[in-house]
Amino acid sequence: MQTTLEPTTSFEVSDKGFYGHFGGAFIPEMLYPNVEELRQNYLQIIADPAFQAEFWQLLEDYVGRPTPLFLAKRLSEKLGATIYLKREDLCHTGAHKVNNTIGQILVAQRLGKKRIVAETGAGQHGVATATVCALMGLECIVYMGSIDMERQKPNVDRMRMLGATVIPARSGSQTLKDATNEAMRHWINNPVDTHYIIGSVVGPHPYPDMVARFQSVISQEVKKQLLAKTGTQNPDYVVACVGGGSNAAGAFFHYLNEPSVRLVAAEAAGQGVSSGHSAATTALGKPGVLHGSRTILMQTEDGQVVEPYSISAGLDYPGIGPLHAHLFDSGRGDFYAITDDEALQAGFQLSKLEGIIPALESAHALAALEKMNLKSDDVVVVCLSGRGDKDLATYSKHL
Amino acid sequence: MIQELTQNRITDLFAHKSERLLNVYFTAGFPELTDTRTILRGLEAAGVDLVEIGMPYSDPVADGETIQQSNGKALDNGMSIKALFDQLAGCRSEITVPILLMGYVNPILQFGVANFCKKCQEVGVDGVILPDLPLDLYLAEYASVFREYGILNVHLITPQTSESRIRYIDEESDGFIYMVSSASITGSVQGISDPMRAYFERIQSMNLRNPRLIGFGINNHETFDTASQYANGAIVGSAFIRHLQEKGTSAESIQAFVQTIRA
């Protein structure tokens, strides 16, 4: 793609919001004031010592951080390498998503917003958003694809119990992409008093950078914990699943400029990369614009967005965050396409070997381990992004 | 600052007419794939001042249910940018009304921006409206190509757009400014409220160099009439899509619709 904006070579976002050729803020004028207000204020707000103190206090006392870095001995033995699991599944609400919603609700408060809108796929981000809205007493509206509402019903009930209004997105594939469209429309219709808490490292600048910063607590803790356990901060690999890619961005963050650490992303291949029922974005996509940023996108020759498919609602998205597109494009990251079956088997394996039922999203990251040709002295950190309770109905069909 | 374009039907139009201009939107490929020329002929015969043809997109975030559904139907019918250019080829032998294409940026990026502008010039398209291509990105990356082929890019302002940004948009715009009537998506506004009038008055008093058309929520004679008191005219979209769906694409049907708006 031709560009006169100089592509960045580093993995930090440029002041225009780009990672390499990817990113930016492709938004209708109707959203410009909202996004601009955020862009002009987010770094200053986050850097404020009072913000930092409140953020870290809540992460510790409410979320339950730091989450453990667990040496999975039986899995390590099985796979022939040293495997650590970063236990984001032990966060309050059951996934890493809450790291970001805590940060964004504090930003929203400081911007004087009265209402929160969010999109959700698996429901983990919706639950995390509804949770922080309850905590802070803000009105919460969550858009969720009507198909996702059926397959992730416990999370719908949790959001409602927390006081959120859950609105079904009935357009398109009725999944995460469409929930995102509907949430953006809601924001267009309510520009002044509403903050949109995007749940992944997607959307217009500054969202990908802001969400990555809030999730970077993951890699920050990993460095410290790994040093204490092994004497070195750096593993050979950090592995995480990528739908939009927020847990991966958080797990990779402090390793982006450590070339000795390979960054491994597991994408959802669904029923197979070539099956027509897949969400393997880097395998199937090409550069394009969706939901406010230029990224790698699954699309037709005519530039229409292709409906993705994955057994895991949280990975069922036709794009990836622009940071991940840059990691792929630059060769900094290794991307693996994991089928539904491979993810299910990895989920069952972890449950039996370690007594941990992973979210289907995280099971994709675990399945990547099988493809990585690990050596016996390799040290691997897998971001276990969420717990599998919400996926029991899906798992039980394949028991 | 834009260089003066040599000849463009949109600038020509505003040079000769400054009041009660009616711009009507329809989605290419809706209700049927081959309706584009029929609807164009109908709108020309009914005497509309400008026509805005929507290039359907799978994820039109600035649009409401009516236009999104028409986009979905058009895509199911097989509409694409390429098919639309094929349908517009030769239309200037019978159609004189200025034509704008409205759409989202991704299909154009895939088609190729230069290729897109070249085809616009070939078939006689005068301008485009691309809501998710922000002004700064347009100026940095694409403006020179659009200018090379004489294609105007119409920018939007909303009630939340700051005065300084409106001045900037006015400076960098040509053709006209698309005034979004309220904080909304298309087809979701009922009537013209007092805050909307206050916003219209505020913009009117800014004495911008570009003419202005008001869109979103213009769906009958009353709203068209009110909008025309504060701007050079107005844009009708969702209401016409609903009309096409209910009353069909015949010249009589389109004439009747335009008459109810203009009355």
What does A153-218 look like in DSSP terms, one character per residue?
HHHHHHHHHTTPEEEEE-STTSSHHHHHHHHHHHHHHSTTTEEEE--SS-SSTTHHHHHHHHHTHH
Which pLDDT belongs to residue A7?
A: 52
Distance from CA of A95 to the nearest CA of B (A): 29
List the single residue in A with minimal CA-CA distance to B159: A30
Is it true that the peptide bond before A206 is cis, omega within 30 degrees of 0? yes
B63 annotated active-site: yes
CA dist., res. A184 & res. B208, Å (int)? 30
Nearest CA in chain A to B130: A28
Task: Give chain A positions within 8 Å (CB) of B111.
Answer: 302-303
With 0.90 as the threshold, say if the pTM is over it: yes
From the list B233, B216, B237, the residue with the least C-alpha distance to B224 is B233
Contact list in A for residue B107 (CB cut-off 8 A) is 302-304
Q: What are phi and psi of A123, to 5 degrees?
A: 100, -10
| Over residues B40-68, mean pLDDT | 95
What confidence score (pLDDT) does residue B185 get?
Answer: 82
d(CA A157, CA A395): 20
B52 catalytic, yes or no?
Answer: yes
Residues B216-236 pLDDT 10s: 999 999 999 999 999 999 999
DSSP letter (8 states) at residue A116: E
Give dist(CA B218, CA B192) in Å, integer: 9
**Interface probe with B: pick from A36, A143, A302, most Cβ of B within 10 Å:** A302
Terminal-residue alpha carbon distance, chain A: 47
Cα A284 from Cα A267, distance rounded (Å): 11
B18 burial class (0-12, 13-18, 19+ CB within 10 angstroms)? Answer: exposed
Using CA of residue A336, residue A340, residue A342, residue A344, what is the dihedral sign? positive
**Partner-chain residue, chosen from A32, A188, A292, that has the shortest CB–CB distance to B185:** A188
Rounded to 5, what percent of chain B is helix, strand, coil? 50, 15, 35
Closest CA to A369 of A236, A215, A280: A236
Cα–Cα distance, B92 to B124 (Å, whole number): 6
Q: Do B105 and A289 touch (CB under 8 A)?
A: yes
CA distance to A254, B190, B211, B225, per residue, from B20 (Å)? 59, 20, 12, 8
C-alpha to C-alpha distance for A164 and A105, rounded to whole angstroms:
14
Closest chain B residue by Cα to residue A23? B137
pLDDT for position A348 = 98
Which B residues, 188 through 217, put their C-beta within 8 Å of a C-beta on chain A?
188
Q: Does the interface ipTM go beyond 0.85?
A: yes
* Interval B240-250 mean pLDDT: 97
B-chain residues near A304 (CB < 8 A): 57-58, 75, 107
- The verdict on whether A97 is a catalytic residue reads yes
CA atoms of A5 and A167, how far apart (whole Å):
39
B134 and A289 within 8 Å at the Cβ level: the answer is no
- The segments of chain A whose pLDDT lies below 50 read 1-5
- What is the H or E stretch that residue B247 is in? helix B238-247
Is the model more confident about A189 or about B83? B83
User: Over chain B, what is the mean pLDDT?
Assistant: 94
CB B28 within 8 A of CB B84: yes
Give the pLDDT of residue B6.
55
Q: How far is B132 from chain A (nearest CA, A)?
A: 4
Measured between alpha carbons, how far is A22 from A355 in angstroms, rounded to an integer?
40
Q: Which of A296, A302, A259 is nearest to A279 (CA)?
A: A296
Distance CA B19, CA B23 (A): 12
List the 3-42 stretch of B: residues with Cβ below 8 A of A.
none
Q: Which two tokens stand for residue A70?
A: 């667990």
The residue of chain A with its CA nearest to that of B157 is: A29
Q: What's the CA gap between A7 and A287, in Å, rounded?
A: 14
Closest chain A C-alpha to B47 CA, distance in angstroms: 30
